[in-house]
Structure 1
Amino acid sequence: MNRSARLALAFGIPLLAAAPAAVSFGQAADHAPYTVAETGRGFTRLQDAVDAIGDGSGTIRFASLRFSDCAVQSKGEITYQAQVPGQSVLDGKACEDKAALVLRGRGARIEGMVFANIRVPDKNGAGVRLEHGDLSVSQAWFRDSEQGLLSGEDPQGSIRIDKSTFTRLGTCEGSGCAHAVYIGNYGALTITRSRFEAGTGGHYVKSRAAHVEITDSSFDDAAGRATNYMIDLPEGATGRIAGNWFVQGRDKENYSAFIAVAAEHRSHPSAGLTVEGNNARFAPGIDRNSAFVADWSGEPLKIGRNTLGTGIAGFEKR
């Protein structure tokens, strides 16, 4: 078992099955590639399945295939569910030059899906582009794209990510940087039991949400390239960052901090933001100095006990 597999198991993150070989629909099993669970109707185009649910609520089950397909959800509440977790891959196609799934309905759930190789002209290609509504993501894998999950603004909305993996994401080749997870001005972001690894630019998590809970997750930057912060809260936030494991790698665009608070604006209060019970260190062979938490807010954060490697200061005001 390789190191990534051991770490994933240690953090309770299920290993996703290898992506199936590309299969044409004519070679697939006798069921349709997409099935609306509530009606049993099958579809060969994802957009047709989404449109069939319309303003209602329903579940779209994906067969174990690699799909060159995408869809836009403009209304309703839809669950996108892999029949076998890790074996349904939305690969390489973006709708509206944005993402494999563009979501602006009332809400969405994503369960067991893989999003891979999404690239668009403006360098913001994402597995999921959330423009409105609540979103819950579980047992998903976002890999080898410009961004994993990108959201717009919905101050009343919430985003939850659990048991998911983000691999080889991010770039600063466009007009701005893309990130593994980039959340706009949402009400709340919760990330639990997830893994971030081998970033290719930008930050691992950049969130403008007013409240964050990031717990029991791992940020392995050892194989990262031209990456920045592990967690960036550029407009401040309240909440809790706890029980996470961080390793900062050698190839950094910015290694001055692991976690940054209010580095751009002070749009949200940060008083009481709690950072405790984390473990942070440099990858083997790296000799440098960095701050675990760098704060521009000037507000009283709650920095508890964290286990920090040599050369890492617990807190710096900037």
Structure 2
Amino acid sequence: MRRSLFALALLALLAAPAGAPAFAQGTAPFTVNGQGFATLQEAVTSIRMGTATILIAPGTYRQCAIQQGGHITFKAVQPGKAIFDSVACEDKAALVLRGNGSVVDGLVFRGYRVSDGNGAGIRTESGDLTVTNSMFLNSQEGILGGQPTNQRITIDRSTFSGLGQCDQSPSCAHSIYLDNKGSISVTNSRFERGNGGHYVKLRSPTVTITDNSFDDTAGHKTNYMIDLPEGATGLIARNTFVQGKDKENHSGMIVVAAEARTYPSTGLRVENNDARLSPGDTTNPAFLIDFSHDKLPIGANRLGAGLRAFETR
């Protein structure tokens, strides 16, 4: 799997000073069609119900924005250099998205914590969403939300590190937690250092989870790598998994329909993945646990010592 270039810059970003200047002297940090704005919210509001791209200059920003309409692309001028730090709108997220569609490209989100335990970089509430080349660091949640329509969510070439929690609120938070009635795609991305909850939790009828790496070796009180709690069909393929020792739940890496059988899982293909236990892990988890009792076409997967291929409950 080709790693995101942002994964290579992860340590530098974690150590970046929070007080870095927001933008170069004499240059507006947010630009829409050549017009500069001092705040992200002003730039978003200027688009109204239209379609436009907000170019975001390098810097560290302690501000957030709510998208109420239109189709907006939030794009870093230099990928990985536009950093949003800790300030959440509506006690939810850096970006609260309820327009007709949104694209997030090249941004970094870090340090989000809110009162209900679900502080996120992105909260999607309506409209299709595409996230690419972005990083989500050291927060309660990375990307959260969904809508009860045919929403399409695509996440590609992004990094999720130091996310999740199960001890700051009555319910857990996860690196990605999405609930929609359309489709969700998570590809070419890296997940690591979880702090509780699951790495990917999706409530959706159709999922594509391919070419990702899940490195749980430095995880703390984590649960599943992939949780499809209401079932799903689609494809889980060409991912690499390394399960760590410090887990709240060791039982399985991929779990299907543990909470409900809302969506049929017949035809969910799980193939050509590589899964291992971290050195010294003496547990005996199942690679896939199925509660649906549907027919899952499980293909060839490369499993390390100590892993059982399949369990039905």
The TM-score range, normalised by the shorter chain, is over 0.9
* Residue 108 (structure 2) pairs with residue 114 (structure 1): yes
- Within 5 A, what are the aligned runs for 1:79-98? 79-98=73-92
Decide which of 131, 147, 157 is 2:151's aligned counterpart: 157
TM-superposed deviation, 1:194: 0.3
Supply the distance in 2 between the matched residues of 1:13 and 1:62 (Cα, whole angstroms).
Answer: 20
Residue aligned with 2:43, SS: helix
2:197 is matched with which residue: 169, 192, 202?
202
Which one-letter code corresponds to 2:2 in the other structure? F
Q: Is the 8 A contact 2:151 2:180 kept in 1?
A: no
How far apart, CA to CA, are the structure 1 residues paired with 2:82 and 2:2? Answer: 23
Residues of 2 paired with 1:109 and 1:51: CA distance? Answer: 16
Instruction: Tell me the equivalent position of 1:3.
Output: none
Output the TM-score relative to the length of structure 2: 0.95
**What TM-score do you get using the length of structure 1 for normalisation?**
0.94
> For 1:135-154, what aligned pairs fall within 5 Å after superposition?
135-154=129-148
Bigger mean CA deviation after superposition, 14-23 or 123-132: 14-23
| 2-structure distance, mates of 1:29, 1:53 | 25
Structure 2: 5+ residue runs without aligned partners? none
Residue of 248, 253, 256 corresponding to 2:251: 256
Partner of 1:166: 160
Structure-1 residue corresponding to 2:220? 225
Q: Deviation of residue 11 (structure 1)?
A: 3.0
Amino acid at match of 1:175: P
Q: How big is the shift at 1:129?
A: 0.2
Whether the 8 Å CA contact 1:169–1:200 is kept in 2: the answer is: yes
Q: Distance in 2 between matches of 1:136 and 1:78?
A: 11
Alpha-carbon distance in structure 2 between the residues aligned to 1:220 and 1:237: 24
Which of 117, 127, 133 is 2:121 aligned to?
127
Q: Match for 1:274: what amino acid?
A: R
Residues 100-153 of structure 1 show CA distances to partners (whole Å, capped at 9, x for unaligned) of 000010010000000000110111100000001100010000000000000132
8 A contact 2:6–2:158 mirrored in 1: no
Match of 1:290 among 276, 285, 289: 285
* Letter of the 1:216 counterpart: D
Assess, with a 3 A threshold, how the Cα gap between structure 1 residues 186 and 87 changes in structure 2: closer, same or farther: farther
**Gaps in structure 1 of 5+ consecutive residues:** 1-9
SS of 2:182's equivalent in the other structure is: strand
The question of whether the paired residues in 2 share the 8 Å contact of 1:11 and 1:217 is answered with no
Contact 2:124 2:145 in 1 (8 A): yes
* Secondary structure of the corresponding residue to residue 246 of structure 1: strand
Partner of 1:268: 263
The equivalent residue for 1:187 is 182
User: Contact (CA 8 Å) 1:133, 1:154: kept in 2 or not?
Assistant: no
**CA-atom RMSD in angstroms:** 1.2
Where do 1:210-249 residues align within 5 Å? 210-249=205-244
